[in-house]
Structure 1
């Protein structure tokens, strides 16, 4: 049932009761809250950014942009910071649907364990922070519908200025329901979801119980709350950039309300001048040895400075009030959290006092309604100029927690869960990812964890591993995947010459075949790239003759440039030639003798696994292709065959989600950097999004990654990967990436200092430090750590 219908039923409003006096809300309409005192406010939700990982110049630009917002904002506004346990209920519901649809027992167990892991994190570690700006209505109308129309201009201007300084504002599908949910957290923290269809707004927000008789705390529906404030003289004398950030990281159960009230220049300048003159006259009567001499001298200097900044620099004068809400389940835990916040504030130079015998007034002041109690405001107000008000900037706790997606682990900056939806095109221009990490940093662990979690969500996964491919076998087979070993001594084979589709039109399933391009000619392009890798010295004349041999070979199987020739009368694909068949046609051209001899090694020699017919089932939803058993000279060949096969599979249709994971992608181009092979991979990573797929590349050799073709290969992979994960790196390699990604010094230091399974996750301009988390079953299937493997062998 619609939430608004639940709250705005047809029942008559009840008379005031003991707890209803706590609720100053009269009506909600059109994104506007009407208060019982006749005022109106609206609330914007703001998404934060990771301020401290920005460069010094970026930080200054952000603060400057926020100052511009304050200049255009109403004279009075409120900034709310809420910290609460992470809400992962929607994500867990999705996991439940995957669990019910899954047939593989190991997958079901891991989905169940992932849900348990997330619930545990949410209860013990995972925190979510929400940021709001409350703006008042400053017009003359008293009709809420008219107010809603007029205040929309204020909110539009605010959104534009906030977004100009890098802050994204949330546009809710139903602003009224957003406001109702926001207020319910304050008035009905536990029982709000039990309302019936006849409940009106007042009853919906009125707590079932509230005890405001205590001197040091109140209790609303079993939740204990105490209120503190920063005293007017309790702020540090200098305001560093984002000085409000420490409050944001205070931990669970701590909410902050900052209220800024701008004073008229005509009103405040005479006051500042008179106060400065009074203090100067007092200073003459005070000896310079007295204790209060310095205080008076500072007051005079401050007054003159403020007057100068207002007159010459165009700054505005504000009063700032800061109220801190501490919440807990018991009075004992409430006291502990109070001590923690007092220690935190003291360590950062703030003097905090408790609102004894004013807890109900402080409660009113803490609400996102811009209704600061006069007594609380007078005790907590501090004068401040625009520059210091802008430097407050508390929006500095960036989270990456998409509504749908893959659980990565924990945000090390604020303990929020990291959930990334690679397929959300509204958030990411592409879902591709580039992963970097030195040996032992956890690169393979992450790739397999990502692959398994994608598979558990119904994504078709293809892994290509040119190095230590055996590390993928255990997990692959445990979840019903197919592990394919391409190399000496293996019976597995993929036929590069096999054509697996009948059209180049990716939408043929939905709209019929509209692309008449020749599938055969497309395949022949891939075969030519293969020969460039096999025999780099091939000449243009030899390429021409090779082209004729390939066409003649396919023709002998009844296959021509006409796509209709690919199938027999029953509609099934015809038998395809392989390299053994091609050799017969190449031998007819004596000029191809050297090229033919090179190919014969793949058919008759030590690398015969690369030249035969496909003999494995390649239609399973999880395939790991291991090319690490090939000798060094054949690694690029085997990796190309695997990649070309994957390209074939993902380009059949874009209806289903797919993922391609290519470890040490640079190896496909060979040691000398084959241009055609490199272009093949670059083209693939550029086009996978159109196939409904993502491409994940990974390397532990950053230098080699950018060495090929003067860095063209690495730059292309990096430039087409919206997401980057930088696990622990050696300093030289971290510095190389600092150049490429324009990392700040602090971000580079994060990468160098990272522990195993930790790294810097980059999504465009947003960067967070992340710790990769897995369930026990996932860890056992993935780990390559020798000690962990030895323990498992002992247990078994």
Structure 2
């Protein structure tokens, strides 16, 4: 049997096995499929949402929104749910590229282990679910180019209504290529994806081998498929919201096709009325103790109910047909999966039958062409009203699997890999993330795992650690990073007064300098914030004198407001002053005596590590800035110096990807909530996207996070973080986040009862439970677990 004839036809009525009965595809153009019988369809890919983690009110609103979509949609449409092993080939290919270019041995080992782990998950646990809505063309045009133009408005209207009920629709860069690959999955399941070439379309979609001779299955390119359908009378009498969800979660190798066909009210109302009258008359001839009486009585009640809902509530009448595709590698495993789906359907009140001797017709009905075979449709159709049709809502399994992203772990709802691309601006308005987790929940583990995987993919990473910074050291040095300890007794130092660039124009390397703003004045703003933290009671008069002292100090080094003064005659940056150089200029103003004494502690006293010249490598691809050794009163100062240094580094260019990770971000503002320092961080998180960077903030103290500045600081960080990860939290802190993130009761409970390394990942409207996964090498480098560390200690 030649399935090229199934798709495209050749006019030959003597085709083997009667393939002339199957509707062929004629052409694909402009996102439209032309079928040989003269009809046209288009296909929308829909991203699902995690329906069961929504509140009851949200669920009802979603169903109501989907009902509104059905009201405006064409009279006939098809919903397809595909389940298959997760395809992570593109992700692994990218890892292979990073592996080949990586020079650090530990990084190479971790890249290799990550690729193995993700591939194993995809093969054994990972499933990918895709959702499609097939819409027909209902106009009069016969030219596909005209049809594509007319369908543009239909598609946009559908997108608007779907997005209004919380469903995102995918806008493919090449819709024709998407449609070809979609059909390819049905006809050539093991072939490569379509590429831009001169390959003839029929040839590209023709399978190498087919067998349609069996009564209970067909075989295409070695993949065995059988087709079942829910019988017309095989649906439960009453259904709940998202009653189609059990089919979605049926497991690997199960695809579902739902077809909804709306009937005209003028046509259907007389039929309902006549049927009800006929059944009433039959009731008179049936004894009230017979089973027939109950069935007829139910039929009468159902008819009257439908008539009332159509007339009074404005509902529409549909016929629903459900076809189930079961796929497997062998006939034996096919039978097992058939048995599993039959048991699942039976447990949920559905009666399923196998399409014996109609497998080819059922195959056609399962295609995303809205071409259900008449025999199949008549055997499987069930009358249904708009409310029940909307409640079908099968789009209830959310996945986060970005081809170019960072592997997080496993989706606990459906066993799919969780891969997030923080730099995908089409999917996420920003790639920033806020992480919350109680002590021992795995917050530091996740931050370091994320940082290492970003580094392995060529991202320049900066970590600022005001608490237990030593936990980052082992991993940092193992992957060739630079660990900087800022604190008493440390030889490392970062000079806050150092100017490291010659222009404020971030695009100067691409188009030349177009921003004439003074780099010096920008730096002085940061120095003033530092003094606000150092000496919180500084007065406006003292600020003015301090400003003069700072300008005079820079002037002594030949640096003025003119950016040209920053470099010597060879174009190299001049030597910059440090706080030790600033003190003599401050001492000239007696009014600054108290402020000067506070600064001297950083230069001459116990915290002298904050006041000298920079003496660290600033160009390392992975830098950890540990400020945890500072005393409590200096923690905010040291963290601000580290953050200002990072801001300086990432704002030089936006060409390369960068990541800033700030643990316990609220500490930079100090316990009393310094307004200027808080605004500095808020401004940074708002602008990092423009620098080609992401900002990841984290805390285990949710209450403190929102206590500063009446919650302004925490709200700003949260509001500018498109992604949130909620690891295990105490109930009081989980309830606080429930209010801020508008979590449902079930989502909040998910966070409270999460195990170590588990949490709720939020991306906009969608939330999934995720388990963080690491390779053995990553675990050994990151873990802070006492028992794991104790095993490594060599006996004396």
TM-score if structure 1 supplies the norm length? 0.95
Deviation at 1:145, TM superposition (A): 3.9
Structure 1 Cα separation of the partners of residues 539 and 294 of structure 2? 87
Deviates more, 1:786-795 or 1:247-256: 786-795
For residues 548 and 204 of structure 2, the distance between their equivalents in structure 1, rounded to whole angstroms, comes to 79
Q: Is the 8 A contact 2:441 2:755 kept in 1?
A: yes
Q: How far off its partner does 1:331 sit?
A: 1.6
Deviation at residue 198 of structure 1 after TM alignment: 8.4
Counterpart of 2:617 in 1: which secondary structure?
Answer: coil
Note the alpha carbon deviations across 1:424-450, whole angstroms, 9 max, x for none.
222222211111111111111111111
Taking a change above 3 Å as real, the CA distance of residues 601 and 551 of structure 1, as seen in their structure-2 partners, is: same
Q: 1:10 to 1:315 in 2, by over 3 A?
A: closer
Q: Secondary structure at the match of 1:793?
A: coil
2:317 equivalent in structure 1? 317
Contact 1:7 1:201 in 2 (8 A): no
Q: Deviations over 1:79-107 (max 9, x none)?
A: 11111111111222222222222221211
- The structural deviation recorded for 1:197 is 7.9
Q: CA deviation at 1:794?
A: 6.0
Output the CA distance in 1 between the equivalents of 2:706 and 2:151. 53
User: Would the alpha carbon gap of residues 11 and 529 (structure 1) be closer, same or farther in structure 2, given more than 3 Å must change?
Assistant: farther
The number of equivalent residue pairs is 796
Task: Please say which of residues 273-282 and 692-701 is displaced more in the overlay.
Answer: 273-282
| Matched-pair contact (CA < 8 Å) for 1:242–1:393 | yes
Change (3 A) 1:576 1:7: farther
The corresponding residue for 1:352 is: 352
CA distance in 2, matches of 1:287, 1:225: 47
Query: CA separation of 1:148/1:616 partners in 2, compared to 1, >3 Å: closer, same or farther?
Result: closer
**Bigger Cα displacement from structure 2, 687-696 vs 163-172:** 163-172
> Deviation string for 1:697-735 (max 9, x for gaps)?
100000000011111111111111111111111111111
Q: Tell me how far 1:230 sits from its aligned partner.
A: 1.1
Can you give the 5+ residue segments of structure 1 that lack an aligned partner in the other structure? none
Deviations 1:155-187 (A, max 9, x none): 333333323322222233333322221111111
Q: Which structure 2 segments of 5+ residues have no match? A: none
CA–CA separation in structure 2 for the residues paired with 1:372 and 1:204: 24
2: CA distance, partners of 1:2 / 1:376: 23
Q: Which SS does the other structure have where 1:46 is aligned?
A: strand
Q: Alpha-carbon deviation of 1:655?
A: 1.7
Farther off after superposition, 652-661 or 278-287? 278-287
- Cα distance, 1:4–1:509 mapped onto 2, change above 3 Å: farther
CA contact (8 A) 1:76 1:262 kept: yes
Contact 1:218–1:225 (8 Å) recurs in 2 = yes
- 8 Å CA contact 1:19, 1:206 repeated in 2: no
Shift of residue 195, structure 1, vs aligned partner? 11
Quote the offset at 1:199 in angstroms. 6.4
Cα distance in 1 for partners of 2:269, 2:426 equals: 49
Aligned equivalent of 2:763: 763
**Structure 2 Cα separation of the partners of residues 6 and 599 of structure 1:** 82
Please give the per-residue CA displacement for 1:640-664, whole angstroms capped at 9, x wherever unaligned: 1111111111111222111111000
C-alpha distance 582-46 of structure 1, shift in aligned 2 (>3 A) = same
Give the match for residue 777 of structure 1.
Answer: 777
Task: Work out whether residues 3 and 207 of structure 2, in 8 Å CA contact, stay in contact via their aligned partners in 1.
Answer: no
TM-superposed deviation, 1:311: 1.2
Displacement of 1:301 after TM fit?
0.9
Give yes or no for contact 1:728–1:751 (8 Å, CA) kept in 2: yes
1:233 partner SS: coil
Residues 5, 483 of structure 1: alpha-carbon distance in 2 compared, 3 angstrom cutoff: farther
TM-aligned CA distance change 1:196 to 1:421, over 3 Å: closer
C-alpha displacement at 1:593, in angstroms?
A: 2.4
Partners of 2:76 and 2:135 within 8 A in 1: yes
Residue aligning to 2:411: 411
Q: Please, which moves more after superposition, 768-777 or 325-334?
A: 768-777
- CA distance, structure 2, for counterparts of residue 638 and residue 197 of structure 1: 57
With 564-573 and 5-14 compared, the bigger mean Cα shift is at 5-14
The worse-fitting range, judged by mean Cα deviation, of 476-485 and 65-74 is: 65-74
C-alpha deviation, 1:27, in angstroms: 3.1
Conserved? CA contact 1:259–1:321, under 8 Å:
yes
> Does structure 1 retain, via aligned residues, the 8 Å contact 2:17–2:212?
no
Q: Is the 8 A contact 1:9 1:198 kept in 2?
A: no
After superposing the two structures, state which structure 1 stretch, 185-194 or 766-775, moved more. 185-194
Matched, 1:257 2:263: no
Query: How far does residue 583 in structure 1 lie from its aligned partner after superposition?
Result: 2.1
CA contact (8 A) 1:20 1:206 kept: no
1:212-270 residue CA offsets vs partner (Å, 9 max, x unmatched): 23232222221111111111121111221111111111111000011111222222212
- Does the 8 A contact of 1:9 with 1:200 survive in 2? no
Question: How far, CA to CA, are the matches of 2:560 and 2:487 in structure 1?
Answer: 31
Q: Distance in 1 between matches of 2:663 and 2:496?
A: 20
Contact 2:166 2:765 in 1 (8 A): no
Structure 1 stretch 10-19 or stretch 685-694: which is displaced more? 10-19
Please, which moves more after superposition, 478-487 or 276-285?
276-285
User: Structure 1's 281 and 794: CA in aligned 2 closer, same or farther, altered over 3 A?
Assistant: farther
Distance of aligned partners of 1:5 and 1:570 in 2 relative to their CA distance in 1, 3 Å threshold: farther
C-alpha separation in 2, matches of 1:759 and 1:196: 41
Q: 1:193 to 1:579 in 2, by over 3 A?
A: closer
Q: 1:3 to 1:233 in 2, by over 3 A?
A: closer
| d(CA) in 1 for partners of 2:246, 2:401 | 22
Q: Alpha-carbon deviation of 1:765? A: 1.5
Alpha-carbon distance change, 196 to 143 in structure 1, aligned in 2, over 3 angstroms: closer
- Aligned position for 1:519: 519
Cα separation, partners in 2 of 1:795 and 1:147, compared to 1, 3 Å: farther
Q: Distance in 2 between matches of 1:430 and 1:120?
A: 31
- Structure 1 residue 568 displacement after superposition: 1.9
Range 132-141 or range 331-340, more displaced: 132-141
Say if 1:13 and 1:203, in contact at 8 Å, map to a contact too: no
**Contact 2:22–2:361 (Cα < 8 Å) also in 1:** no
1:15 & 1:347 partners in 2: Cα distance?
Answer: 42
Structure 2 contact 7–26 (Cα < 8 Å) conserved: no
Deviation, 1:148, is 3.5
**Contact persistence 1:486–1:609 (CA under 8 A):** yes
- Residue 390 of structure 1 deviates from its aligned partner by 1.1
Do the aligned partners of 1:413 and 1:768 also contact (CA within 8 Å) in 2? yes
* C-alpha deviation, 1:201, in angstroms: 4.1
TM-superposition CA deviations, 1:631-686 (whole Å, max 9, x none): 11111111111111111111112221111110000001111111111111111111
Deviation track 1:1-57 (CA, whole Å, cap 9, x = no partner) reads 999999999999997688787673233333333334343322222222222222322
C-alpha contact (below 8 Å) 1:45/1:133 kept by paired residues: yes
SS at match of 1:453: helix
Cα distance in 2, alignment partners of residues 2 and 408 from structure 1: 44
Deviations 1:443-502, CA, capped at 9 Å, x for gaps: 111111111111111111110000000010011111110000111221111111212112
Contact 1:402 1:421 in 2 (8 A): yes
In 2, Cα distance between equivalents of 1:130 and 1:274: 42
2:602–2:609 Cα contact (<8 Å) kept: yes
Distance, in Å, in 2 between the alignment partners of 1:164 and 1:401 is 23
Q: How far apart in 2 are the matches of 1:339 and 1:179?
A: 32
Aligned partner of residue 440 in structure 2, secondary structure: coil
| Greater Cα shift, 695-704 or 712-721 | 712-721
SS at match of 2:494: coil
